[in-house]
């Protein structure tokens, strides 16, 4: 076997492993949304992914909870991309971008069944503490960055931005949970947007 062929074999295995992992995450994502976390078995996920046996699943994930976390992170990444695109369309003023981030996040939750499923099943699948940690890890850093920018520009009052970012994550999550379960989500979203605007108004310098 030539050196090139020996090098190609590990790369092919890596590509196959990546493809198997991606297929499992995508299949689990669809089934978790359709049936809920607790009603979705690993055998059904393996069959939907077309990867053979559950050995393939357990090669990549320790258990169903670990697979759910990967799905959770994939949904979060999609939502972050959606929110970032909406923020980029705003003027560079950080407080305006914070408002846009909140509105985009709530709109994303309202429009996406996978985001709603994440909010409903996340605490059960991961446990409340791990769920909250994942939410904070996802949302707090970009919010704190915008808050820091706003402080530097003098558009919000100086103060500890880390705790405020966590407060905003908690507020966004509470709003999202209500929207996800509302009979009239447009009305609930409008109420929360007004509430969040009041919160941002309170941060602004006069």
pLDDT given at position 84 = 87
Three-state secondary structure readout of 122-136: HHHHHCHHHHHHHHH
pLDDT given at position 186 = 94
Could you give the CA distance from residue 25 to residue 152 in angstroms, rounded to a whole number?
A: 41
pLDDT given at position 119 = 84
pLDDT given at position 206 = 67
pLDDT given at position 190 = 95
| Pure H helices in 90-159 | 94-111, 113-126, 128-153
Residue 206 corresponds to which tokens in the numbers above?
A: 């006069």
pLDDT along the chain (206 residues), means of 10: 55 79 95 94 95 90 94 91 86 88 92 88 89 86 92 90 92 91 93 93 83
- Give the chain's domains with CATH numbers: 1-61 (1.10.10), 63-206 (1.10.357.10)
**CA angle, 132 then 115 then 119, to 5°:** 35
Could you give the CA distance from residue 113 to residue 201 in angstroms, rounded to a whole number?
A: 31
Closest Cα partner for 200 from 99, 60, 53? 99
pLDDT given at position 40 = 95
pLDDT given at position 111 = 93
Q: What is the largest CA-CA distance in the chain?
A: 73
């Amino acid at each position: 076997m030539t050196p090139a062929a020996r090098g190609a074999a590990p790369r092919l295995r890596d590509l196959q492993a990546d493809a198997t992992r991606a297929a499992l995450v995508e299949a689990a994502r669809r089934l978790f949304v359709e049936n809920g976390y607790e009603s979705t078995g690993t055998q059904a996920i393996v069959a939907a992914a077309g990867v053979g046996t559950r050995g393939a699943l357990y090669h990549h994930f320790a258990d169903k909870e670990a697979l759910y976390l990967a799905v959770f992170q994939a949904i979060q990444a999609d939502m972050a991309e959606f929110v970032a695109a909406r923020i980029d369309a705003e003027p560079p003023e950080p407080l305006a971008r914070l408002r846009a981030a909140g509105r985009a996040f709530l709109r994303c939750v309202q429009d996406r069944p996978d985001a709603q499923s994440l909010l409903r099943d996340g605490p059960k699948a991961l446990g409340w503490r791990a769920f909250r940690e994942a939410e904070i890890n996802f949302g707090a850093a970009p919010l704190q960055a915008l808050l820091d920018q706003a402080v530097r520009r003098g558009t919000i009052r100086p103060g500890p931005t880390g705790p405020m970012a966590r407060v905003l994550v908690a507020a966004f999550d509470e709003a999202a949970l209500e929207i996800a379960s509302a009979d009239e989500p447009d009305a609930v979203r409008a109420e929360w947007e007004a509430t969040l605007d009041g919160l941002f108004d309170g941060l602004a310098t006069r």
